[in-house]
Amino acid sequence: MSDYRQLRTTFDSAAANYQAARPNYPDDLYADLLQITGVSPPDRLLEVGCGPGKATLPLARAGFPITTVELGPGLAEQARHHLAAFPQVEVITSSFEHWAVPKDVSFSLVYAATAWAWVDPEIKYAKAAEVLRPGGHLAVWNATHAFPAGYDPFFPEIQEVYEELGETREDDEWPPPLPDTLPDHLEEFEASGHFVSAGVRRYVWGRRYSADRYIALLDTFSGHIAMGEAKRSHLYAEIRRRLAERPDGQLTRHWASVLTIGRRI
């Protein structure tokens, strides 16, 4: 089993904490998504990898009927719980690759929030195009650690701990690139032969974290879930020690999302 296939199954162990620990995506992202794609209820949407419903809820509240496909049974159960008030939302426990597409059903928008990278690249674009109506759209976005000018100095300090533990990759770049240089998926979209560009948008925002909240966040990341217990305990002890030296005991972590939208050819 490839590394990405192994790591994508780790998220289910964090199912109970994922919704509260992970940040909400910006309201502007959803506004841009609807404006660029032109979708509106009752257009049917398909979400790939809904997790506990983090990106499903805002679109369900807007009145869209949504079919969601989630690999992890624990995450799918959390999604059903969080989306119980929306009977127009269906949560299916399956990988996107193995999901049986219903006959005579097509979607106006297929979207994936922080999940697209975990889907088999040999299958995902063709299958998304298969289920879309003519002229329908595919939209993918993420939420990654951002390092705008003036980012919190906590991070280069704690990076030294990761390096001491051997928990960095050879291709890790430090400091990471500025948010406005983060890559989009347009080249992939167009190379698939199924989509043409409809637009790219970028968003950056910051959140304050106490040690407990930040560690709860880290516990939802595949690399930290897969990290050995001794390493993880040492890392978290260092985070607590360093933040305890700050007057308010908190750090600022910035987030960036890159929204890529393609139109089905």
Distance CA 196, CA 125 (A): 12
Judged by DSSP in three states, 96 sits in coil
199 DSSP assignment: E
Q: Which tens digit of pLDDT belongs to each residue from 126-156?
A: 999 999 999 999 999 999 999 999 999 999 9
The full set of domains in the chain, from first to last, is 3-147+177-206+254-264 (3.40.50.150)
Single pTM value for the model: 0.88
Tell me which of 3 and 113 has the higher pLDDT.
113
Q: Which tens digit of pLDDT belongs to each residue from 41-74?
A: 999 999 999 999 999 999 999 999 999 999 999 9
Using the CB atoms, write b or e for 74-107: b if 16+ within 10 Å.
bbbbbbbebbeebeebebbbebbeebeeeeeeeb
Are 70 and 51 in contact by the 8 Å Cβ rule? The answer is: yes
Closest CA to 20 of 238, 214, 175: 214
Q: How far is CA 144 from CA 48, 161, 171, 254, in A?
A: 18, 20, 16, 8
Distance CA 41, CA 38 (A): 10
Are 127 and 46 in contact by the 8 Å Cβ rule? The answer is: no
Distance CA 172, CA 25 (A): 25
Distance CA 32, CA 29 (A): 5
Which residues touch 80 (CB under 8 Å, ≥6 apart)? Answer: 91
Res 4: pLDDT: 45
Distance CA 185, CA 160 (A): 31
180 DSSP assignment: G
Sign of CA dihedral 228, 232, 233, 235: positive
**Cα within 13 Å of Cα(85), Cβ side:** 10
Res 219: pLDDT: 92
Q: Which tens digit of pLDDT belongs to each residue from 68-107?
A: 999 999 999 999 999 999 999 999 999 999 999 988 899 9
Res 8: pLDDT: 47
